[in-house]
Structure 1
Amino acid sequence: MSRGVEVVLDAGPEHAAEAVAVMHRAFAEYAATGLPSGAMTETAHTLREEMAGGTRVALLRVDGRAVAMAKHHPAADGSRYFGRLGVVPEERGNGHAATLVRALRADAWAAGLAGLSCLVREDEDGNIAVYQGLGMTVVGRGERRSRTGALIRVVEMRDAEASAD
């Protein structure tokens, strides 16, 4: 049976609660690592505030049910920065992250931006590999203070074509 997949790159503030529910399910596993994700501190209210400041929310739905999301906005370096890309556990492995990344990239290019950029936890080899397989490359390493206050080691990734400039 074919499943209906829909990507909405600019889900409005009325979808904030739905996006946060996906985010919380997607990022809950980090609590077991000792470095819980700051995603767990986000609420529909805080997300709507971000959206009022220019952050957009992408939702991927399967048969009408939101199963993946990402926040995104134009970055100062001319790329489209995305973060909090998450897929609910039971939908992982179905290509939803790749579908979102490709849609975000097409949107970035259509807006005249130089592709995508993101930060990924340094110890998330699987996520880094997925993004590399989608044409992104590691361009830097550092630390970032999470919304929880934890200091997390991250890699900065950028579309390979954009990082060659």
Structure 2
Amino acid sequence: MAAPAVVRDLREHWAPASAQEFMLDDVDLGNRRLTIAGRVRPLDDLTLKLLLDWLEQRRSRWPNTANLHLLIHNQTADTTGRASSHWISAAMRGQDAPLEKLRVDRQLEEALPHGPDPLHLAEVFGLDEKTPMRYADSARALMERPLETDPATSP
């Protein structure tokens, strides 16, 4: 079975090793949060929708599972074990954009509307102290770049 869409979306933010550790208790739908490795992260609209869809699919497909891991499949639904990183990674195989490019694009997408704020990026993505500075610098460069003009209308 192919990994669900929520896996693809979560993988834009977090590595398969951390995604396979997600537990049902890590999801706080009421407050739109997901706890990852002890850090609470907000859920954007798309991720929340995908997560709700996955939880509905999970409940209808395996209604009697005792597995408390968020991401399960046919072989793990009858156990308490976690899904493998191989199964989680399968969702990205054959895609046009590699995972790292999706992750960088998502971080820049977050940086642009909030301004080049490394503290915001560090909090949202759980980045170490040097990485958010690079993304903030990239966002700053994009924000300061003049708007492109249509060559057909330029003098």
Q: TM-score, normalised by structure 2?
A: 0.30
What's the TM-score, normalizing by structure 1?
A: 0.28
Greater helix content: 2
Higher alpha-carbon Rg: 2
